[in-house]
Structure 1
Amino acid sequence: MRAAVVKEFGPILSHTVGDLPTPQPGPSEVLVTIKATAVNYVDSLVVTGKYQFLPERPFAPGKLPAGIVSAVGSGVTTLKVGDRVLTLAEQGGYAEQVAVDAKQCFKLPDAMSFVDAASMALVYDTSWFALRERARIQAGDSVLVLGSTGGVGLAAVQLAKAMGAKVLAGVSNASKAPLALEAGADDIIDLSQDNLRDSLREQVFAKNGGKGVDIVIDPLGGDPFDAALRALAWRGRLVVIGFAAGRIPTVKVNYLLVKNIEVSGLQVSDYRKRMPELMAQCLKEIFAWYEAGKLKPAATVTYPLDAFAKALQDIVDRRVSGRIVLLPNP
């Protein structure tokens, strides 16, 4: 089986396509012929050995591939050969086939393409858990999404709107504002202004009826985190998703006490392992909103499997706008 093969952890461009044994499904598993897999920043951490969970080598990276069931284990009754599915595989997506527990596979809506399914995977479920589970969003809440034009950010903007919230989109420069507004944001917060510590809060208050926001979704960390914490309303909730800005911030907990605010973190892969029923609810809701036209995946660029290393490097270097999806079996 052709696959991106990581024999030893190292620089992205040191990894190449090679051969791995074709996986054989166990009694509770299905074999999926992979049609599309998103390239995510987290994959660069995996192949370079910097991620918190590292697979045994050799392995193929790639999370949550989508494809067609091509074989089923003896104990599988919920899926059949030919079913179109999104898998929750933690690795193996940069390959022609993958074996996955049947409970970790979800049938795709008829209208959803494999490319759309892969493009939405990871970013939409991450945003759903951040909003629905960690932030306990309610209709009428106000939400500030930092990094709103990234994969998770755009998904969070769309989902927050679908959940009935008012959405302020944080952008790093004004040229990115149209993308966030097209995704459904009600207004823009300019993260490039001077004295962000004060200017972010001033913008939020000016565009949110003179008060702070109920929820902040933060994939950035760094200075935007520090500033956004000060823009939370009483009983506000800030959810940490990542640190794309580079610096991992710290919090003086007396500030949380004085304002009655919360800061929580999200590692979505834990939910896939520990709360599969909630993940099923998440995907059911996302698929329904997709079919209703409330969710629209970001613009997608497709690469062949042979170009996986270039695709990963393009993600790290921010050379591509939108999502990159690999096509292992075009």
Structure 2
Amino acid sequence: MKALLSTAAGGPETLELLEIADPVAGPGQLVIAVKACAINYPDVLIIEDKYQFKPQRPFAPGAEVSGVVAAVGEGVEGWAIGDRVVATTGHGGMVEQVAVDAAKCYKLPEGRDYIEASALLLTYATTIHALVDRGQLKAGETLLVLGAAGGVGLAAVELGKAFGARVVAAVSTEEKAEAARKAGADEVILYGRAPFDKDQSKALAEAFKAAVGPNGADVIYDPVGGDYAEPALRSIAWEGRYLVVGFPAGIPKLALNLTLLKSCSISGVFWGAWAARNVAANRAHVATLFDLWAQGKITPVVSGIYPFAKGGDAIAKMGSRGAIGKLVVQVSE
């Protein structure tokens, strides 16, 4: 079978489309004939050896796939060859076939498109865990979403609205602002490109404060980091919850006196590790997501579809922070 492989640390241009052996379904596994593989920011990092996990090379990037069950391993119940499936892989998804633990697989409802389905799990499962378990978001509260036009950002806007929050979306361009509005944001704020000097940082903090209102943001969802973090934290409400999701703009250093002044908390969001430790709770969250998807309250936004051989281009687009919503590599028809 064909696989788009990282054979040496580097950017997307180092990926090679090569022939490798077909996978075999081990005990507790399914082999999936991959239809589509969605791209996420960790794919940018993992091929450069900058992610927290460093797989042994050669490996394929790609952490979530949709497709059809091609083989069922020993001990697996409830699955049959030909079943439609979505799954998380951690890495290894940009291949024609992949072996995945059945615990990480979910039956794709009939009538759902493989492209859209591939873009659901990581962003929305990360976000529902963040907002419900870590942020304890309640109806009527104010949610500030940074990077609100990215995959997890749009998921946060949609889920925030589904859970009854007032959502303020922060983005860098008017095109991204329109995407956030379409996702349901109540208010949108435009910010500039970091780095910021002291005056620019102060001005951004004031803009956040004006947008979230005099009581502050009850929950701040930050998948951006960098120089955006402290201005956002300054707009938090009393006993607010700041959710640390990712760092495409860099890892920030926050003044912890701000947490004392607002009696607020800063919570890390590491969905993959949480899901591995809380399998039943994670599956319950995914069931909720499927219900919201069926109701039309969430809809993955796919702004670019790439052929298999051009998967590296999708990763490059993600790395430039130019993507709106998700980018998907179509592995097969």
With the shorter chain as reference, the TM-score category is over 0.9
Q: Greater shift after overlay, 195-204 or 136-145?
A: 195-204
Q: Mark the CA change 1:92 to 1:208 in structure 2 (over 3 Å): closer, same or farther.
A: closer
Match of 1:327 in 2: 330
Q: Does 1:180 align with 2:180?
A: yes
Shift of 1:318: 4.2
Aligned partner of 1:252 among 241, 255, 269: 255
Q: Deviations over 1:216-253 (max 9, x none)?
A: 0011112221111110110000001112223x212232
Q: Deviations over 1:282-330 (max 9, x none)?
A: 2111111010011122133211211112221222234554422111122
* Whole-Å separation in 2 of the counterparts to 1:234 and 1:137: 14
Alignment check: 8 A CA contact 1:196 1:227 kept: no
Match of 2:76 in 1: 76
Match of 1:243 in 2: 247
Match of 2:287 in 1: 284
Instruction: Give the secondary structure class of the aligned counterpart of 2:76.
Output: coil
Q: Does 1:89 align with 2:89?
A: yes
Match of 1:212 in 2: 216
Q: Greater shift after overlay, 209-218 or 229-238?
A: 209-218
Q: Does 1:303 align with 2:306?
A: yes
Instruction: Give the secondary structure class of the aligned counterpart of 2:4.
Output: strand
Q: Does 1:263 align with 2:262?
A: no
Structure 1: give runs of 5+ residues left out of the alignment.
Answer: none
* Whole-Å separation in 1 of the counterparts to 2:232 and 2:322: 27
Instruction: Give the secondary structure class of the aligned counterpart of 1:315.
Output: helix
Q: Does 1:223 align with 2:227?
A: yes
Q: Mark the CA change 1:261 to 1:160 in structure 2 (over 3 Å): closer, same or farther.
A: same
Q: Deviations over 1:131-171 (max 9, x none)?
A: 11111111111100011111111111001101111100112
Q: Deviations over 1:78-110 (max 9, x none)?
A: 211111111121122100011111111111122
Q: Greater shift after overlay, 117-126 or 319-328?
A: 319-328
- TM-score w.r.t. length of structure 2: 0.93
Shift of 1:180: 0.9
Q: Does 1:141 align with 2:141?
A: yes
Match of 1:169 in 2: 169
Instruction: Give the secondary structure class of the aligned counterpart of 2:129.
Output: helix
Instruction: Give the secondary structure class of the aligned counterpart of 2:33.
Output: strand
CA RMSD, aligned part only? 1.9
Q: Greater shift after overlay, 66-75 or 253-262?
A: 253-262
* Whole-Å separation in 2 of the counterparts to 1:151 and 1:88: 16
- Identity percentage over the alignment? 39
Alignment check: 8 A CA contact 1:147 1:218 kept: yes
Q: Mark the CA change 1:5 to 1:201 in structure 2 (over 3 Å): closer, same or farther.
A: closer
Alignment check: 8 A CA contact 1:4 1:15 kept: yes
Alignment check: 8 A CA contact 1:119 1:300 kept: no
| Counterpart code for 1:89 | T
| Counterpart code for 1:7 | T
Aligned ranges for residues 20-169 of structure 1 at < 5 Å? 20-169=20-169
Q: Mark the CA change 1:203 to 1:15 in structure 2 (over 3 Å): closer, same or farther.
A: closer
* Whole-Å separation in 2 of the counterparts to 1:211 and 1:277: 36
Instruction: Give the secondary structure class of the aligned counterpart of 1:110.
Output: coil
Structure 2: give runs of 5+ residues left out of the alignment.
Answer: none
Instruction: Give the secondary structure class of the aligned counterpart of 2:128.
Output: helix
Instruction: Give the secondary structure class of the aligned counterpart of 2:177.
Output: helix
Q: Mark the CA change 1:256 to 1:101 in structure 2 (over 3 Å): closer, same or farther.
A: same
Instruction: Give the secondary structure class of the aligned counterpart of 1:74.
Output: coil
